[in-house]
Amino acid sequence: MKRFFYLFAAVAVSLCAMVACSENDLPETPVTPPVPSDFKNFELAVKQVTREQVTFQVTPRDNAMTYVALICEKSYFEEFSSEDGVMDDDLDWFRRMAEQQAMTLEAYLRSILKTGAFEDTEVGLQPDTEYYLYAYGLGSGGELLTEMDKLLFRTDALEMTDTTFAIELNEISFNSVKVKVTPSDPSALYFVNVFNEDRYQEFGGNEEAFLVQLAYVRDYYLNKGATVEQIIANLALAGEHELTFDELLPAKKHYAYVIGVDRDFFANTQATVEEFSTQAA
């Protein structure tokens, strides 16, 4: 997720939301911002937060100073021993973005640096996840102008249901399988998929791997321009279904799984999983 938000910050001049959102979509009770004196160079405020978006405000103490403001997961920060390491990594990322756009670093930074206060809404966050909103002064030559100020916030958790799923595997061959799914609630929406052991490891190699892949699928299609409604129409099912999955790898362990989803294509159940191995070719 780190790079998703970096790309967002690097391409947009003011951390503009990728998808606009009305204030009516947000909770009525705002999150209480921290005491301004906690900040050295920027006053940061998280005004409203849901499970997938946040409305925030950045106010520099020096309105003429150029700066960047970004959002990323707390877990990213924990990869570094200091905030200096985070800012160095940011600068490396800006250099790569400049190269991709055939620009000098100075020209690229001039196109993205902010001055003055602004408020915006960031969408596409993951539910029940800790993030940092952070800002620091940065010159067009890549020189640091201030230390970093940061603010920790957490998105809302998902609302889970008690729907359960029965999975039946049929006609397992060297490259395909039929997966029959029967939900306890015929009206419940769900997502079903199959992946091999290598993909399982790529998504974490534990019981959370299936939820991680679901989130990846959602983000992938949203970033491609699809709406949530389109994702639901094309990927979500209700009632009993049997689907054929082909192009599997021969003589390999695979995982068939089902996860209940809500109308926003967020998980609302844990994954129900059946392991199987394809036949040799």
Taking each helix axis as running N to C, give the angle between helix 2-11 and helix 105-112, from 0 to 180 degrees, rounded to the nearest 10.
Answer: 90
48 neighbors 26 (Cβ within 8 angstroms): yes
Best CA proximity match to 39, nearest among 5, 78, 9, 69: 69
Amino acid identity of 77?
F
Q: So what's the pLDDT on residue 6?
A: 35
User: Which amino acid makes up residue 80?
Assistant: F
H/E stretch holding 87: helix 83-100
Q: What pLDDT score does 87 carry?
A: 96
Specify the pTM: 0.65
Long-range contacts of 183-189 (CB under 8 A, 24+ apart): 183/238, 183/239, 183/240, 183/258, 183/260, 185/161, 186/238, 186/239, 186/240, 187/238, 187/239, 188/161, 188/163, 188/238, 188/260, 189/232, 189/236, 189/237, 189/238, 189/260, 189/261, 189/262, 189/263
**Per residue, what are the HEC states of 222-266?**
HHCCCCHHHHHHHHCEECCEEEEECCCCCCCEEEEEEEEECCCCC
pLDDT at 37: 52
pLDDT tens for each residue of the chain, 281 residues long: 343 333 333 333 323 222 223 333 434 444 444 444 578 999 999 999 998 889 999 999 999 999 999 999 999 999 999 999 999 999 999 999 999 999 999 999 999 999 999 999 988 888 899 999 999 999 999 999 999 999 999 999 988 999 999 999 999 999 999 999 999 999 999 999 999 999 999 999 998 899 999 989 998 998 899 999 999 999 999 999 999 999 999 999 999 999 999 999 999 999 999 999 999 98
pLDDT confidence of residue 176: 97
CB 216 within 8 A of CB 195: no
